[in-house]
Structure 1
Amino acid sequence: MAEVWRSAQWIYRAVFLVLALGLLFLKLLPLGQSAGALPGPDILLCLIMAWVVRRPDYLPLVMIAIVVLIEDLLLMRPPGLWAALVVLATEFLRSRVALTRELNFVVEWILVAGLMVGLLLSYRLILAVAFVPQAPFGFVAVQVIWSIVLYPVVVGLSHLILDLRKPATGEIDSFGRRV
């Protein structure tokens, strides 16, 4: 039984890496980015948040940090700042996994939306303190709003396609501990 659990963890980790690299590849493609166009949502952030709320053991801290750091480097953002903030947000969610298991979806959505807004504000505040040029606030706010709206879609697709769900009460991991 433990071997199956461990293999499922590695399968989900591999699926996450493939999805993350695919999303990064799509972000780098010059697809219809005209001046004045609305920004798209941060699907990778939605995916990370949804997976950490559902199954935090499938996404280790190091994997999240490396994927988001690679995204920082490829998108030419200040290296490590967004990665550090995302890691802090996911660890906040991970530390409250027992609470989020009992929450209904609307409250979970509000929690994740608050974290996304907090990430936006802290990222912009740190960049402002360091006098780093930033994108206009409206542009980034629209991206966060799109991400918040897209979160239920990402959760639904993760549940339907990948069968990613919250652990059942009494479910145990490979070490015999309750999940």
Structure 2
Amino acid sequence: MYSYITPFPSEDETDADKIGQAMLFLPSRPTQKEWSDIVAATKNGFALTGSAVTGQVGPIIGLTDIGECEDSYLFRVSLPGVKREEREFSCEVDTDGKVLIRGVTTTGEKTVARYNQVFEMQTHNLCPPGHFSVAFRLPGPVDPHQFSGNFGTDGILEGIVMKGK
């Protein structure tokens, strides 16, 4: 019914009819009828967190690609407009493969000062400014002491972590 509902299969899922957690992407603020249809389509309800609570949308922070080779995992995370300063950004990797990224976005503001000029922004399509967190799990256990990451100027965080035993 809604092409923006993407189910995440739970770890113990064996029945194709069971749906665990789901992520909901809305291209714009839904109408009351659309909200009613979304709520009616859920069995146990749903919760919104972060900027979704305020109805703000923009480029998705945290789109993730994960790769695997014999002894390690590679992940790439899209983080447009995120500050790269060490005191405002962190990436933690746990032994069970959970990755937690925290930071602050700098885009989406209503007023922008550049080159001694102040611009009143008429559109607000970029991610709203403020704190965020992204969490995901790698396919298996890892050795967090053998993790290296690089946050490029292109807004992509790339990390490599050795598999655990």
- Bin the TM-score by the shorter chain: under 0.3
Higher-Rg member (1/2): 2
Structure with the largest fraction of strand: 2
TM-score computed with the length of structure 2 as normaliser: 0.27
TM-score computed with the length of structure 1 as normaliser: 0.25
Structure with the largest fraction of helix: 1
